Copies of this chain bind each other. A is one copy, B any other.
Amino acid sequence: MNRRFSTQKKMIAEALQLLDHPTAAEIYGEILKDYPQISLGTVYRNLNTMAGEGEIMRLPFSDSPDRFDQNPNEHYHIVCNRCGRIFDTDCDAIPPELLRQLDKVVEASTGVAVESRTMLFSGICPACKKNS
């Protein structure tokens, strides 16, 4: 099952660089400008394989379509409650010992050993705070 490097995948990778945490539909819309025959299914299929192989990150949201992050390295996100923009933490922003402390209290309370965590923060971004 050797992977081929299709034109479409190339364009998806480019769109991911160009756009800021886009949804699949936004990537689709961007590529549509230059390559009108692309299909949304292809965009999803490629994003899924890329995420599965650790090339990109998929960011699930409870109330809106998933978004994709071209940076696959461990980092976290904060969403602006007003404009919806997503901001990345640096990869080393959260000290490992802080995560370990978190895990420990969860384990102590539930009896289940933590293997991984999903964390999403929210607040009001500086730009939105300014004009309010």
A residues touching B (Cβ–Cβ < 8 Å)?
A: 58, 60, 62-63, 66, 76, 78, 80-81, 87-90, 93-95, 98, 101-103, 105-106, 108-126, 129
Q: Is the CB of A98 within 8 A of B101?
A: yes
In the complex, given contacts A87-B112, A117-B121, what are 7 additional A-B residue pairs having Cβ atoms less than 8 angstroms apart?
A62-B66, A78-B112, A93-B108, A106-B121, A111-B125, A112-B124, A117-B120
Q: Is the CB of A94 within 8 A of B114?
A: no
Q: How far is the CA of A112 from the CA of B110 in the complex (A)?
A: 31
Q: Is the CB of A112 within 8 A of B120?
A: no
User: In whole Å, how far is A126's beta carbon from the nearest beta carbon of chain B?
Assistant: 6
Q: Is the CB of A112 within 8 A of B98?
A: no
